[in-house]
Amino acid sequence: MNEKKYILGQYFTREEIVRKVIDLILEFKKYDKNIRILEPSFGTGNFIKVLREKGFKNIEGCEIDPAFTNTPQDFFLYPLDKKFDLIVGNPPFTKYNVKESYFYPKKYFLSPLHPGNYLPRDLLKRNKIRMENAFILKSLKHLKDENSAIGFVLPISFFIEGKNLETKKMIIKKLRTIIVYQNDKKWVDEPIPCGFGIFTNIEEYRDKVILIYENEEKMKVVLNISKILTDELIPKSYLYKKHNNLDGESLSKFLSDRPVKYKKSYIKNNISGSNILERTKIPDEENVKDYYLAVVRVGNASVGRAGLINIKKDILNDMFYVFAFKEEYNNNKEIKEKICKILNENQNYFKNITFRVGSKSIKKRDILNFKINLK
Ligand X SMILES: C[S@@+](CC[C@H](N)C(=O)[O-])C[C@H]1O[C@@H](n2cnc3c(N)ncnc32)[C@H](O)[C@@H]1O
Binding site for ligand X (CB under 6 A): 8-13, 41-44, 46-47, 62-65, 74-76, 89-90, 92
* Residue 172, SS3 per DSSP: helix
Tell the smallest beta-carbon distance from residue 129 to ligand X (Å): 13
Partners of 17 in the beta sheet?
none
Give the nearer residue to ligand X in terms of CB position, either 89 or 304.
89
Residue closest to ligand X when measured from CB atoms: 43
The length of the chain is 375
Give the nearer residue to ligand X in terms of CB position, either 91 or 307.
91
Helix H or strand E segment including 338: helix 333-345
Q: How far is CA 304 from the centre of its chain?
A: 20
Q: How far is CA 94 from the centre of its chain?
A: 14
Give the nearer residue to ligand X in terms of CB position, either 93 or 323.
93
Q: CA distances (Å), 157 to each of 42, 93, 188, 262, in order?
A: 22, 11, 15, 31
Give the nearer residue to ligand X in terms of CB position, either 158 or 292.
158
Tell the smallest beta-carbon distance from residue 148 to ligand X (Å): 19
Give the nearer residue to ligand X in terms of CB position, either 180 or 353.
180
First to last CA, the chain: 55
Asked if residues 322 and 292 have their Cβ atoms less than 8 Å apart, the reply is yes
* Residue 332, SS3 per DSSP: coil
Tell the smallest beta-carbon distance from residue 74 to ligand X (Å): 5
Give the nearer residue to ligand X in terms of CB position, either 47 or 349.
47
Give the nearer residue to ligand X in terms of CB position, either 129 or 202.
129
299: left (phi over 0), alpha (psi -120 to 50) or beta: left
Tell the smallest beta-carbon distance from residue 116 to ligand X (Å): 17
Tell the smallest beta-carbon distance from residue 68 to ligand X (Å): 6
Asked if residues 205 and 180 have their Cβ atoms less than 8 Å apart, the reply is no
Give the nearer residue to ligand X in terms of CB position, either 69 or 344.
69
Tell the smallest beta-carbon distance from residue 132 to ligand X (Å): 9
Tell the smallest beta-carbon distance from residue 104 to ligand X (Å): 11
A 10 A CB-CB count for 371 gives 16
Tell the smallest beta-carbon distance from residue 156 to ligand X (Å): 14
> Cα(56)–Cα(191) distance, rounded to whole angstroms?
32
A 10 A CB-CB count for 185 gives 12
Residue type at 108 in one-letter notation? Y
